[in-house]
Every structure is written in structure tokens, then in C-alpha cells.
Amino acid sequence: MAHNKQPISVLVVIYTAPGETTDMTTSHLTNPAKDAGQVIGYSHSTRPSNDKGQVAGYSTGSGQVQDMKVLLLERADHPGYWQSVTGSRDGEETLAETAMREVREETGLDVRQYALTDWQSQNVYEIYPHWRYRYPPGVTLNTEHVFGLQLLHPVDIQLAPREHLNYQWLTWQDAAEKVFSPSNRAAILELHQRIQTKARLQRKPQ
């Protein structure tokens, strides 16, 4: 097998935020030809699953986490391993283009219809030994760039059967517990903090 994966990847946290139309993050990308996108979905599976997720979220008026949902996908190559959308950069893609492509490939969604936000956050971590064959010889570290994709409500998505078996919408707490990757867990926890910060700012008198 060719060792053609770049040690540069994206992690895209897809979530619902009723009442909001834009992501509450620092860098909003609006040029579809360069940096754009957003995503959708709801609980579905290509095979039976006993996992159940109560969905939570937030209301911008109250700042309470009560309607937000976070999407997780179960890996086909490692059943029981759950994660957000993720993937490596191809060629000379921008990071936003990589995020758009990965969301399309893994969910079937056209991210140009929505709004993708670069969280300006990076994680450098050691590549799991059993996945290093995918990279050039000697590469052991990967740099992951975090994005957020927000939608108003869940809609159905199309799984790529060779990549994922199931998907679920979970509360941010349950999603953070369920993912196998520490950086994915940190991103979901960061999402909760971002939502709370946005809600507090909205409540401040003008």
C-alpha cells in the first residue's frame, strides 16, 4: 500500500445549535471557492446498534445547554471507535478545502450550503503505531486543525460504508465520553465552552 497520507489533518466537530445561524468561533469562512462550508445529520445506522444518545444543546436566550447535538461516526476499520469527521489533507488543498471534502465524503453533505468555521486550534499528537503504514517512512507525528460546523437541526446523512458503520447525535457530555481520541474529546469540551461564552456575551447589556 502506498504511504501517501500527509501528516496534516482536520477534525470537524458537527453540531446543532437551534436559534443560531452562525458558528460562535473566531474565524468565520465565507468564500466557497477558498474557505467555506457547514453540515447536517441525525441518528442512523447501517447495522443495528444498542447505543442510545440523549441530545443536548443550548438556547442563546438563556445560555443553557439543552438542545445542542454533536454528531459522532463509528469507524468501519475499528468498530467501537467513535469520532467526529476527520481526514488528511490531499495535495495542495487549503485546510478548509480538506474539511469540506471530508464532510462530503463521510456524510454526503454539501458544505457550501452552510458555514464552516476555523477554530484556529491545532493539536500535535503521535500517530497510533497500527496506522503509521499509511504515512511516509519515519513519520510519527500528525498536526490536526480543528473546525466547527453548525446547523439548526439534525437531518439524515449518508454514511460511506467503507469508512463508517453508524452515526449518532449525542449530548456534548456523552459525545466527549464516547470518542476514542483525546484531541476529539478536547474539541467537544471546547465547543461547550464556546457556546457558554457566546451566550454570556449575548446577555450583556449593550
Contact 13, 187 (CB under 8 A): yes
- Looking at residue 200, what is its pLDDT? 80
- Looking at residue 19, what is its pLDDT? 60
Give dist(CA 97, CA 78) in Å, integer.
26
**Domain segments of the chain as ranges:** 8-198
Contact 130, 185 (CB under 8 A): no
pTM: 0.77
User: pLDDT digit string (tens) for 41-87?
Assistant: 233 333 333 333 322 333 333 444 567 899 999 999 999 999 999 99
- The fold of the 8-198 domain, in CATH, is Nucleoside Triphosphate Pyrophosphohydrolase (3.90.79)
Mean pLDDT of 113-129: 91
In the block, which residue shows the cell 507525528?
141
What is the three-state SS of 47-84?
CCCCCCCCCCCCCCCCCCCCCCEEEEEEECCCCCCEEC
Q: Is the pLDDT confidence value at 173 over 50?
A: yes
Confidence category of residue 196, pLDDT binned at 50, 70, 90:
confident
